[in-house]
Amino acid sequence: MTCPSRPRSARRAYRWLLDRSRTNWCRLLIQILAQNLFMDGYRALGDDQADEPLGWSHWTQNGLARRRAAVHRATLKYGWAYTTVLPGGTAPVIRGVSPRNMTAVYADPWPIYALHQKTSWTPDGRRQVYRLFDDQAVYTLAENDPGQGPAYLDHAEHGLGVCPVVRFLDEDDLDADSPGVVAPVLDIQDRLNYQTFLLMTTGAHRQRWAAGLEVDDDEEPPIGPDRLLHSDSPETRFGTFDSTDMSGYVAVLEQILRHLAAITQTPAWALHGSLSNLAADDYSAGSASGRPPTSSRDSRHCGSPTSPPEMRPAD
């Protein structure tokens, strides 16, 4: 997310407006979609309905009612995210991993191997620790000395027969391209920033003019909203322009928001808050759930990764 260009001679008040013209609409898109991705129950064929399903027991023991939100947000933000699924004492141990810290090489449906990087702190300072997953074990490596590369520490066999890493995709296509929610709309985000900047600079200060000022040809006059100009010449004239009609700027800003809503399949009223011309059924659906209705594509993809291998509690 970028700002309009900043002149080298920009004054502090100008820079202040420039920095505050940014509004993170991409984060709002992620929030709207993530709020609709939730699970409040689980039922599998063949489970005894009198008892809690085994899969739901694994879900609750791993605290996924809370942790699944982080996986969903990373999937929406970056286009994909990972979870590791390893045997545990009474249930599989399931943990989410950001794609910024893990990469995997795939041979569908399971990865051949995956590498997870994280930072560890020791009495000697920070060091990088790596966990390499394959279909046999999890290998731990660490950089003991900066610049020397990782060295083997230990490994633990998991006995699953597949690499225990599950990938969640926001979109799935034959080109393996899943850009997520943010990347495709960055141009629209920049247009919103620029239009907001125009709105703030036009309406923040009344525009004034001066004629007949004597300045050096190679020197830029010190003009700005925080500057006072004066002249000793009787030929100098000062005045103000008529106030600008802001409705055009606001209309353009709302139109850009409508473009953003159309591109992302998000209800327009969820972005700009206007309830005019809103169908009663759409408003009732959003109000009843407390969440705006969104495309069903996201909930299907985010909730249906390749199933993990069957795991039972360790003896």
Q: Per-residue pLDDT tens for 17-32?
A: 778 888 899 999 999 8
| pLDDT for the residue numbered 168 | 92
Other CB atoms within a 10 A radius of the CB of residue 69 amount to 15
| pLDDT for the residue numbered 46 | 66
User: Minimum mean pLDDT among 62-76, 98-112, 276-290: which range?
Assistant: 276-290
Mind listing the pLDDT tens digit for each residue in 286-295?
544 444 555 5
Over 70: is that where the pLDDT of 196 sits?
A: yes
Over 50: is that where the pLDDT of 313 sits?
A: no
| pLDDT for the residue numbered 294 | 53
| pLDDT for the residue numbered 191 | 92
pLDDT band with cut points at 50, 70 and 90 for residue 305 = very low
Report the amino acid identity of residue 29: L
Nearest alpha-carbon partner for 56 in 25, 21, 92: 92
Give the residue-averaged pLDDT of 118-136. 87
Other CB atoms within a 10 A radius of the CB of residue 91 amount to 19
In the chain, beta strands by DSSP E: 80-86, 93-97, 102-107, 110-122, 125-133, 137-142, 151-157, 165-169, 208-211, 237-240
Other CB atoms within a 10 A radius of the CB of residue 195 amount to 20
Residue partners of 82: CB distance under 8 A and separation at least 6: 96, 97, 98, 99, 102, 104, 114, 165, 166, 167, 168
| pLDDT for the residue numbered 267 | 83
| pLDDT for the residue numbered 289 | 46
Over 50: is that where the pLDDT of 54 sits?
A: yes
Mind listing the pLDDT tens digit for each residue in 251-278?
888 899 999 999 988 888 888 766 555 5
Considering only residues 292 and 184, tell me which one the structure prediction assigns the higher pLDDT. 184
| pLDDT for the residue numbered 300 | 45
Residue 123 is encoded by which pair of tokens? 């009495």
Considering only residues 296 and 188, tell me which one the structure prediction assigns the higher pLDDT. 188
Give the residue-averaged pLDDT of 236-246. 78
Contact criterion met (CB below 8 Å) for 221 and 215: yes
> Taking the chain, what is the end-to-end CA distance rounded to the nearest angstrom?
52
| pLDDT for the residue numbered 279 | 57
Residue partners of 153: CB distance under 8 A and separation at least 6: 140, 141, 142
DSSP tag of 52: -
Go through the chain and tell me how many residues it has.
Answer: 315
Report the distance separating Cα 50 and Cα 69, nearest Å.
Answer: 29
- List 113's β-bridge partners, or say none: 105
Considering only residues 195 and 276, tell me which one the structure prediction assigns the higher pLDDT. 195
Report the distance separating Cα 10 and Cα 273, nearest Å.
Answer: 34
Question: What burial class does residue 130 get, using C-beta atoms within 10 Å of its C-beta: 0-12 exposed, 13-18 middle, 19+ buried?
Answer: middle
Residue 36 is encoded by which pair of tokens? 């609709």
Averaged pLDDT of the chain: 79
Residue partners of 311: CB distance under 8 A and separation at least 6: 85, 87, 92, 160
Could you give phi then psi for residue 36, rounded to 5 degrees? -95, -5
